[in-house]
Structure 1
Amino acid sequence: MSTADWAGKVAFITGAGTGIGFGVARAFSNAGMRLALSYRDEAQRARCTSWFEERGREVPLWIKLDVTDRDAFAVAADKVIDHFDKCHVLVNNAGVSVFGPTDEASYADYDWIMGVNFGGVVNGLVSFLPKIKATGEGGHVVNVASMAAYLSGPQAGIYTASKFAVRGLTESLRYNLVPYGIGVSLVCPALVATDAGLSALKRPEGFAGSGFAPVDEGELHNFASIFANGMDPLEAGEKILRGMTENRGLIFTHPEFAEDFKDIYETSLAALPDEVAPPERLEVERLRRAANKAALEGAKISINDLT
């Protein structure tokens, strides 16, 4: 498959008014795809629309959406089908980056961050997968996580948990959708030139009871300034499109993490007990590996295939 094969396909991208979402939207448009984009801010929508108009492109179907709103997500899926008659690609991109010591977090902190970063992905899948399957032409699901899906740290516990959750869900979903000709990719970007560092300033009133210290806007803007050193969102979007085209299950956009993955690999191997496993347990794991391989070759796997 080449990127040209995406021409005319319909994609829905969440959080497309800025950052990585808009980078993906531009890359998809450059490949000839038709777009439905979710947004929250009218000024961002206007700026993005100008990009398409200036190039004589089809203006996307814009849908205002809070990705935590399940009913609104279902309505968005219906709008896409009503407008385009089909949908081939779902990009779950919308997210928030909020930092603070995990031991001080409140329920509101957990509910907001997990609700957007993981719940938003769930809502996208439940709303759109039946539509993509019904199209009958195959397609692709892209779940945008973060390098935090692999790398943890002291200031981003809930954010990291949400991205680990997206990683596990996406890796499992890939096995399920092969029989439908639907690819699944986990995207783990690192620093991209976005306004993600200012997420704490956009906290909804319904989640106001944070356990973290009150936001110091000067400190937050100083932290957010590092994002200016990040990758151009269009470059990230182009790498995501290439990964989709190659049907890669995992798409890394940044190269600077070999040291981290070497450490993860060595630490993980060293943590395994230095002993021989009994034959009956080895057989269980052999069956699991065989089932996973068969799933990626198109088989529908049931629990009976694991025994």
Structure 2
Amino acid sequence: MAITEFAGKNAFVTGGASGIGMGIASALVRQGMTVMIADIWQDHLDQAMEAFERRGEANRVVPVLLDVSDREAYEAVAAEFAEKVGKLHVLVNNAGLGAGGRTKDLTYKDWDWSLGVMIGGTVNGLVNFLPAMIAHGEGGHIVNTSSMAAVLQPVMKGGVTYTTGKAAVLGMVEQARYDLAEDNIGISALVPGPVRSNIFQIHRTRPERYRNEGIETAPRRQAQVDPRWMDPEQVGELVVRGIRENQLYIFTHSMFRRGMQEKFSKLLASLPEQDDDPELMASLEMFLSNPIYTGHD
């Protein structure tokens, strides 16, 4: 099922003009793919195309302006992809935002904006591209960008919308993995740790329809990007390998191992002590185990 040959195939990457998205797009272009990069910032698209031009790769990159939460705009861009690029083989639902705000301060518009990008944007990618990807019969792969925050929540006040959206994306991949196998479509969750990007520069991206009246109740995150964080180009190479090997999870860092072990130990320890009914367990087998976790999917 895994796509092992990239040359001559096509990809679509949201949030593709900077950060992780640019790193993934660059890696796919180096593999010989034609890539449409979608981004909400025109200046970042311009800068990305200048970088591809310097590398002599601009002829295999198509930039497009897109707010992934806008369904009508997304539908138009999907039609443009089919016209300008052709068949889609790799879909990367990467666009996101580092929205903050403490739970008690958030409004409907704060939630709608955050989840409209992280969940809605991913859904829009699937609805607009997946049917055609299946129809051409050449196989395909989807990469949804989640986050370590979906697996191991940071010690902080705020960021609940971000964690909610990224956890939903992770669950989506796990459910769709088994579901899409019969159509020769692989799907992976990219679960990045600290990567150098523009994720915290959210003040520019909030559409007018999601703005609160008066003073914004959700404070903007002011986190700074540390130069020691991973280079997006390295993430791109990990994604290429993840697609080629049809990995369920594409993690970028091992430093979270202890925290993950603590969390999963807590989960197991929280299960009640009781004698399970073997017959009931047999009748519920589809809920008790999944081959995607045992490597037999």
TM over 0.5: yes
Residues 3 and 246 in structure 2, CA contact (< 8 A), matched pair in contact too:
no
Residues 119 and 165 in structure 2, CA contact (< 8 A), matched pair in contact too:
yes
Q: Does 1:79 pair with 2:80? A: yes
Q: Does 1:190 pair with 2:189? A: no
Q: Say if 1:200 and 1:44 are closer, same or farther in 2 by CA, change over 3 A.
A: closer
CA-CA distance at 1:119 after TM superposition = 0.6
- Segments of structure 2 that go 5 or more residues without pairing to the other structure are none
CA-CA distance at 1:204 after TM superposition = 2.4
Partner of 2:209: 206
CA-CA distance at 1:297 after TM superposition = 6.4
Give secondary structure in 2 for the equivalent of 1:248: coil
CA-CA distance at 1:281 after TM superposition = 2.5
Q: Does 1:7 pair with 2:7? A: yes
- Segments of structure 1 that go 5 or more residues without pairing to the other structure are 299-307
CA-CA distance at 1:275 after TM superposition = 1.3
Residues 4 and 31 in structure 1, CA contact (< 8 A), matched pair in contact too:
no
Q: Say if 1:3 and 1:29 are closer, same or farther in 2 by CA, change over 3 A.
A: farther
CA-CA distance at 1:290 after TM superposition = 6.9
Give secondary structure in 2 for the equivalent of 1:50: helix
Give secondary structure in 2 for the equivalent of 1:142: strand
1:263-302 equivalent positions in 2, closer than 5 A: 263-288=262-287, 292=291
Partner of 1:30: 30
Q: Does 1:229 pair with 2:228? A: yes
Residues 11 and 87 in structure 1, CA contact (< 8 A), matched pair in contact too:
yes
Q: Say if 1:3 and 1:50 are closer, same or farther in 2 by CA, change over 3 A.
A: farther
Partner of 1:181: 184
Q: Structure 1 stretch 163-172 or stretch 277-286: which is displaced more?
A: 277-286
CA-CA distance at 1:4 after TM superposition = 6.5
Higher helix share: 1
Residues 20 and 195 in structure 2, CA contact (< 8 A), matched pair in contact too:
yes
What amino acid is aligned across from residue 129 of structure 1 in structure 2?
L
CA-CA distance at 1:229 after TM superposition = 3.1
Which ranges of 4 or more aligned residues in structure 1 deviate by more than 4 Å? 1-4, 289-293
Partner of 2:43: 43
Residues 3 and 241 in structure 1, CA contact (< 8 A), matched pair in contact too:
no
CA-CA distance at 1:205 after TM superposition = 2.4
* CA RMSD, 1 decimal: 2.4
What amino acid is aligned across from residue 256 of structure 1 in structure 2?
M
Aligned residues: 292
Q: In 1, distance between residues paired with 2:172 and 2:13?
A: 18
Q: Say if 1:265 and 1:2 are closer, same or farther in 2 by CA, change over 3 A.
A: closer
Q: In 1, distance between residues paired with 2:12 and 2:24?
A: 11
Residues 94 and 117 in structure 1, CA contact (< 8 A), matched pair in contact too:
yes
Q: Structure 1 stretch 69-78 or stretch 263-272: which is displaced more?
A: 69-78
Give secondary structure in 1 for the equivalent of 2:276: coil
CA-CA distance at 1:213 after TM superposition = 5.2
CA-CA distance at 1:64 after TM superposition = 1.2
Partner of 1:302: none
Partner of 1:304: none
Q: In 2, distance between residues paired with 1:133 and 1:173?
A: 14
CA-CA distance at 1:279 after TM superposition = 2.2
What's the CA shift string for 1:269-296, capped at 9, x where partnerless?
Answer: 1000111111232113324457757xx8
CA-CA distance at 1:212 after TM superposition = 3.0
Residues 16 and 37 in structure 2, CA contact (< 8 A), matched pair in contact too:
yes
Q: Say if 1:44 and 1:226 are closer, same or farther in 2 by CA, change over 3 A.
A: closer
Q: Structure 1 stretch 45-54 or stretch 231-240: which is displaced more?
A: 45-54
What's the CA shift string for 1:76-125, capped at 9, x where partnerless?
Answer: 11111112321111000001111121121111110000000111000000
Q: In 1, distance between residues paired with 2:270 and 2:216?
A: 34
Q: Does 1:55 pair with 2:85? A: no
Q: With a CA cutoff of 8 Å and minimum separation of 6, indicate the structure with the bigger relative contact order.
A: 2
Q: In 2, distance between residues paired with 1:62 and 1:28?
A: 15
Partner of 1:238: 237
Q: In 2, distance between residues paired with 1:113 and 1:291?
A: 30
1:52-201 equivalent positions in 2, closer than 5 A: 52-57=52-57, 58-153=59-154, 154-201=157-204
Give secondary structure in 2 for the equivalent of 1:275: coil
Q: In 1, distance between residues paired with 2:97 and 2:179?
A: 28
Q: In 1, distance between residues paired with 2:4 and 2:273?
A: 50
